[in-house]
């Protein structure tokens, strides 16, 4: 099911997008006990979509694709390379990425993000991640590349306001492959995050093309590495890394991240102040 979060007449709600272009309304947050999908419907068109969760933290994974590490002149990491993006960086679908005056090289990084559904601490590699996951969404790990190089650590480069667009949906794969296109040959319902095609386009020009089957570290390794350090809470995000092809953004650009089975995240780019 494709979960979404929206605002209508000043009220925030949750719902499930349907193939016929309507949204079934959910009574309460799907991250809390007691919620259920009601018979009430709204047209999807015209809804003001919000980020589909409210993460307390966003954990990024650096260089999880060998070709991306190579294009930046870095060796593949021996262990998952982790960093944090602040919740203040979150941006809604169709919102404007603001280019900060402090950077002259802001780049896109299209990624699959895992959304936590159950508190996770001390997860062990080799366990099944599915009991701890709510679903998956599209994310753009916007990065000030020049600041990333100059600072050494990545807080400024990854942390500007608007540098974490994600959504518009969280797909939970609870009904199998959602279609309408056929499932990729590598896809497996037991590992629904595996074998997903990812593309990033800027002004309809293809910039990035990858597949989550090419991760250096599978999801169980990522959960183990992260939860050994910090407790993951419902709604938190794990940005699982970006494939090769990152590139500079300019004011006026339109950037889209598309992941098979999940959806398409679109944002415009504006000069910041």
Contacts (Cβ under 8 Å, ≥6 apart) of 264: 138, 168, 256, 257, 258
pLDDT digits over 104-132, tens only? 999 999 999 999 999 999 999 999 999 99
pLDDT tens for each residue of 6-56: 998 889 999 999 999 999 999 989 999 888 999 999 999 989 999 999 999
Q: CA 242, CA 68: separation in Å to the nearest integer?
A: 7
Q: For 46-97, write each residue's pLDDT tens digit.
A: 899 999 999 999 999 999 999 999 998 999 999 999 999 999 999 999 999 9
Cross-strand pairs, 177: none
| Backbone φ/ψ region at 94: left (φ over 0), alpha (ψ -120 to 50), beta | left
Return the pLDDT at 263: 96
Name the band, by pLDDT with cuts 50, 70 and 90, for residue 180.
Answer: confident
Please name each of the domains of the chain with its CATH number. Answer: 2-50 (2.30.30), 58-271 (3.90.850.10)
Residue 181 has pLDDT above 90, yes or no: no
Apex CA 16: angle with CA 54 and CA 202, to 5°? 65
CB of 152 closer than 8 Å to CB of 114: no
Show the tokens assigned to 210. Answer: 């990858």
Q: Which long-range contacts (CB under 8 A, 24 or more apart) does 81-85 make?
A: 82/225, 82/226, 82/229, 83/59, 83/153, 83/154, 83/155, 83/158, 84/57, 84/58, 84/59, 84/60, 84/155, 84/158, 85/58, 85/60, 85/141, 85/158, 85/159, 85/163, 85/164, 85/239
- φ/ψ (deg, to 5) at 189: -60, -25
């Amino acid at each position: 099911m494709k979960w979404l979060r929206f605002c209508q007449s000043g009220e925030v709600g949750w719902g499930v997008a349907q193939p016929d272009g309507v949204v079934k309304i959910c009574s309460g947050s799907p991250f809390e006990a007691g919620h259920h999908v009601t018979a009430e419907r709204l047209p999807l068109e015209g809804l003001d979509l919000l980020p589909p969760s409210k993460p307390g933290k966003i954990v990024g994974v650096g260089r999880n694709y060998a070709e991306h590490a190579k294009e930046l002149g870095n060796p593949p990491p021996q262990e998952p390379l982790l960093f944090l993006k602040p919740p203040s960086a979150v941006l809604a679908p169709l919102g404007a990425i603001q280019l900060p005056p402090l950077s002259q090289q802001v780049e896109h990084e299209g990624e699959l993000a895992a959304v936590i559904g159950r508190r996770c601490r001390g997860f062990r590699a080799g366990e099944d991640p599915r009991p701890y996951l709510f679903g998956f969404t599209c994310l753009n790990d916007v990065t000030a590349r020049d600041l990333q190089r100059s600072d050494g650590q990545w807080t400024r480069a990854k942390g500007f306001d608007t540098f974490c667009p994600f959504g518009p949906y969280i797909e939970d794969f609870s009904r199998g492959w959602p279609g309408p296109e056929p499932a990729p040959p590598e896809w497996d319902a037991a590992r629904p995050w595996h074998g997903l095609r990812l593309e990033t386009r800027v002004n309809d020009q293809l910039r990035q093309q990858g597949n989550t089957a090419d991760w250096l570290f599978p999801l169980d390794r990522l959960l183990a590495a992260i939860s050994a350090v910090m407790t993951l809470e419902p709604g938190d995000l794990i940005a699982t890394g970006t494939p090769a092809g990152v590139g500079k953004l300019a004011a006026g650009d339109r950037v889209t991240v598309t992941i098979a089975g999940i959806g398409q995240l679109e944002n415009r780019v504006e000069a910041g102040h």
